[in-house]
A = this chain, B = another copy of it.
Amino acid sequence: MKKHNFNSGPSILPQTVLEQAAQAIMEFNNTGLSLLEIGHRTTYFMEALAEARALVRELMDLDDSYEVLFLHGGATTQFMQVPMNLLDTNETAAYCDNGIWGNKALKEASLFGNVNVVASSKDKNHTYINKGFDIPADAKYLHITTNNTVEGTQWHHIPDTNVPIVADMSSDIFSRPLDYKKFALIYAGAQKNMGAAGVNLVVVKKDILGKITRPIPSIMDYAKHIAADSLMNTPPVFAVYVALLTLRWIKAEGGLEEMGKRNLEKSNLLYQTLDSLPIFTPTVAKEDRSQMNAVFVLTNPAHEAPFLELCKERGMVGVKGYRTVGGIRVSMYNALALESVQIFCDLMHEFAASVS
């Protein structure tokens, strides 16, 4: 039976990326060796890394005032690394508290300096994105999570401010065209739209670095990674290579314009179906719905178990809500075909008919 992969992460990747990755493990680039067995300072790998870095800048339309790094770890590593590099002990950073992950980020930041929670959607269980809040001009930076994977919300308008914006884009990186110049630092832990888990993408405007007094351990220091061309130590070679394959796929498919078009089409279909069937109840404010993760509940809680069972029977993988939240979550990352969403929507209709 064909599986439809709605996993929230690690999640679906393009089939062609998987095939090329498997091939590279058997033999990389006619070297007679596996990708896992070649030195990271060989031309082979250094070219792959350089291509991946260049593709990120190209897809986001950023000039060379930005640097692109591929670093060890996941977004949780960046929760620490961002304030360690940007926030001095007596300074204040502005954080938006719009979900589980953003909340973890601000807690880690509080170990390094002062955190000012300038907006929070906690009053309504993080089911919306704050708008029109004040951003103190002296904040060192403003931290937002552009897509809240667990709660199913997404920022559709990036605030206009002179305060440098730091964004965790782990779950909507490369999913849509945006004015990426509005950001001073973008980070994204794999694995959602970008490749294998175990690598962080960090895109940083160079002029925000070097402005704190704290000594930074080498492996955490963005400036040192830039000086070392993102090759300070043995990088997560395989994860970087899968990121490259994914970036090539995105470009070949038409770049972020095309990804944005497809993701809009998929999420429109899903949300229209959701709104048309009273047995399902959306949990998120309409204008803040995520194109990546649709979160909803069964209007009658007794319907949840049989619906999940039906999904399982039909090969729908990963549609159960986050372990602390419950309900249903349907993740529709770049590599998920419209067809899978259509089949899921058909199933929603079928289930609705069966219980009415």
Q: Which residues of A contact B (CB under 8 A)?
A: 1-3, 5, 7-13, 18-19, 21-23, 25-26, 31-34, 36-41, 72-77, 79-80, 84, 104, 107-108, 111, 189, 191, 195-199, 215, 217-220, 232-239, 242, 315, 317-318, 323
Contact = CB atoms under 8 A, between A and B. Distances in A.
A1 B32 contact: yes
A36 B13 CA distance: 8
Given A33-B5, A38-B7, A39-B10, A74 B237 contact: no
A192 B111 CA distance: 35
A217 B5 contact: no
23 contacts: A3-B31, A8-B39, A9-B234, A10-B37, A10-B39, A18-B25, A18-B26, A18-B34, A18-B37, A19-B26, A36-B196, A36-B197, A36-B242, A41-B323, A75-B233, A76-B219, A76-B233, A77-B219, A111-B217, A191-B234, A197-B237, A236-B236, A236-B239
A197 B238 contact: yes
A16 to B, nearest CB: 12
A323 to B, nearest CB: 8
A32 to B, nearest CB: 4
Contacts of A33: 3, 5, 317
A18 B36 CA distance: 8
A34 B13 contact: yes
A108 B217 contact: yes
A5 B77 CA distance: 33
The dominant DSSP class at the A interface is loop
Given A79-B219, A111-B217, A7 B196 contact: no
Nearest to A15: B34
Contacts of A41: 323
A271 to B, nearest CB: 24
A108 B219 CA distance: 9
Contacts of A13: 34, 36-37
Of A10, A11, A18, A22, most buried by chain B (CB within 10 Å of CB) is: A10
Contacts of A323: 41
A79 B107 CA distance: 24
Contact of A7 (B8, B10, B39, B215): B39
B75 A218 contact: no
A1 B31 CA distance: 10
A316 to B, nearest CB: 12
B197 A234 contact: yes
B37 A198 contact: no
List the 7 closest pairs (A to B, CB-CB), nearest first. Answer: A198-B236, A80-B217, A76-B233, A3-B32, A72-B73, A22-B25, A198-B198
A328 to B, nearest CB: 15
Nearest to A198: B236
A180 to B, nearest CB: 24
